[in-house]
């Protein structure tokens, strides 16, 4: 985080944790399921430098609630398109 703050270069973080994304990002790019597409781009209105206490602010809560709603909608769509009785297929196998 310190390197990013000092250099101010563009960095792409990939995470499945919404709070981590809120802490690290200036914008959240929320991706959909198959086929992968951008579902939403959300501005994170938290000032920099950031600390963990900012995640409990009303602004952070609002962004998190919106992101979770988009992800929930995407999960419902994914389950609705799966044939009845079919479970998710593993994407990889452990050796």
**For residue 29, what are the contacts with CB-CB under 8 A and spacing of at least 6?**
38, 40, 41
Distance of CA 7 to the CA centre of its chain: 24
pTM of the full predicted structure?
0.74
Measured CA to CA, the distance from residue 17 to residue 67 in angstroms comes to: 11
Q: What are phi and psi of 12, to 5 degrees?
A: -105, 115
- pLDDT tens for 2-54 read 666 677 678 788 898 999 999 999 999 999 887 889 999 999 999 988 899 99
Diameter of the chain measured on Cα atoms: 52
Asked whether the beta carbons of 74 and 37 are under 8 A apart, the reply is no
């Amino acid at each position: 985080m310190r390197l990013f703050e000092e250099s101010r270069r563009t960095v792409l973080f990939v995470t499945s944790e919404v709070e981590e994304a809120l802490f690290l990002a200036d914008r959240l790019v929320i991706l959909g399921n198959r086929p992968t597409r951008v579902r939403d781009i959300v501005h994170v209105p938290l000032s920099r430098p950031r600390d963990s206490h900012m995640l409990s602010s009303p602004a952070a809560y609002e962004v998190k609630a919106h992101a979770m709603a988009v992800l929930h909608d995407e999960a419902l769509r994914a389950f609705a398109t799966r044939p009845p009785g079919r479970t998710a297929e593993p994407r990889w196998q452990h050796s």
